[in-house]
A = this chain, B = another copy of it.
Amino acid sequence: MSDQNKEIAVGIDIGGTNSRYGIVTGTGEVLKHDRFPTRSYPKAEGFVRAISRKIKDLLKDYEDYTFKGIGIGAPNGNYFRGTIEQAPNLGWKGVIPFVDQFKKYFNERVVLTNDANAAAIGEMMFGGAREMKNFIVITLGTGLGSGLVVNGDLVYGHDGFAGELGHTFVYLDQGRKCGCGRRGCLETYASAQGIKRTVFELMSESVKSSELRNISFSEMTSEHIFHAAKNGDRIAKEAFDITGQYLGMKIADAVVHTSPEAIFLYGGLAKAGNLILNPTIKTFDDHVMNIFKGKVSILSSELNGKQGAILGAAALVWKKRK
């Protein structure tokens, strides 16, 4: 019965527009996955009812497996309370008892945490951190999320909201305005939105030609910047360099807190590979405190390009907290 090959869990990654879900084996194989339109459901109850029906249908094809439960990664997901709290990018407002709502439809384990924590658990169970006890996963999506693992356990902290590295200060009391209401947060520089802001700053300051000058702020994505940089566009390349410099500096700060063995970059911007990794690693190496030099690897997540968010969410079901 403890044969993880014969166990499955469902992983759900909640996004503002679409959610993704899938069936995952205990060895990290995604047997089936699909999308589900979050935005079509003005109330969380309706969403949970509808996606639960979909999941139950899917599970019928896997009755010779042992179904272990459901793991959910969600913005502002609180592990302790099983709630989604005041998530700015979701249509559902207030504090939503998400786990309780799923429990109406499932008797198995239902676990929820924020999406970056799920990514960290996924990296530990199925990715590059399989042998590690101390590491950090940084998710570079629209914003910057992070999950810290210390001594083999995810750090939740006193109230379940540990690991908000996107909201450390690059500049004290100045710099770019952040969605959190403050100024100078790391995610205003190092994230999909952040690199776009850097591109627009560079376009305003320089007279260099750039294919990015033909795209509006609203339309530009980090994919555009990635492709421009690969084509040799100087503004795009400089934007990646600057993004990596901010990231490398603040990783040097993060490392002195928990002394991790590695930092994994995950998500949209991380898929740019060396364009983002090289300036990050160089700046980190130049600035990290002496006693940590040569001891910390900055790596691309092994879950990039796979169904990483689904894998991470599903991993929650197996990874029990001490």
A235: shortest Cβ distance to chain B, in Å?
Answer: 22
Residues A220-247 near B (CB distance < 8 A): none
Q: What's the number of copies of this chain in the assembled complex? A: 2
Distance of A161 Cα from B153 Cα, bound (Å): 18
**Chain B proximity of A145: nearest CB distance (Å):** 11
Asked whether B290 lies within 8 Å of A180 as measured between CB atoms, the reply is yes
Are A261 and B158 in contact, with the CB atoms below 8 A? yes
Chain B residues whose C-beta falls within 8 Å of the C-beta of A169 in the assembled complex: 249, 252-253, 287
| A134 touches B (CB below 8 Å) | yes
A258 touching B290 in the complex, CB below 8 Å, given contacts A169-B249, A169-B253: no
Measured in the bound complex, the distance between the Cα atoms of B149 and A143 in whole Å is: 28
Name the B residues within 8 Å of A261 (CB-CB). Answer: 158
A14 to B303, CA, bound (A): 46
Closest residue of chain B to A259 (Cβ to Cβ) is B157
Name the residue of chain B whose CB is nearest to the CB of A295: B159
Contacts of A164 in B (CB 8 A): 256, 289, 291
CB-defined contacts of A180 to chain B, threshold 8 Å: 289-290
Q: Is B150 a contact partner of A157 (Cβ separation < 8 A)?
A: yes
- The reply to whether B165 and A249 form a contact with Cβ atoms under 8 Å apart is no
Instruction: Give every chain B residue within 8 A of A163 (Cβ-Cβ).
Output: 256-257, 259
User: Which residues of B have CB within 8 Å of A260?
Assistant: 157-158
Known: A253-B168, A253-B169. A258 touches B289 (CB 8 A): no
> Which residues of chain B come closer than 8 Å to A76, judged between CB atoms?
291
- Contact check, B249 vs A173: say whether CB atoms are below 8 A apart: yes
A76 vs B291: C-alpha distance when bound (angstroms) = 10
Given A150-B155, A153-B151, A181-B290, are A162 and B258 also a contact pair (CB < 8 Å)?
A: yes
Residues of A within 8 A of B (CB): 76, 85-86, 133-134, 148, 150-151, 153, 155-165, 167-173, 180-182, 249, 252-254, 256-261, 287, 289-292, 295-296, 322
8 shortest A-B CB distances, which residue pairs? A157-B259, A162-B259, A164-B256, A158-B261, A134-B158, A167-B289, A168-B253, A257-B257
Query: Given A85-B291, A168-B257, 17 other A-B contacts at CB below 8 A?
Result: A134-B158, A150-B155, A150-B157, A151-B156, A151-B322, A158-B260, A158-B261, A159-B292, A160-B259, A161-B259, A161-B292, A164-B256, A164-B291, A169-B253, A173-B249, A181-B290, A182-B287
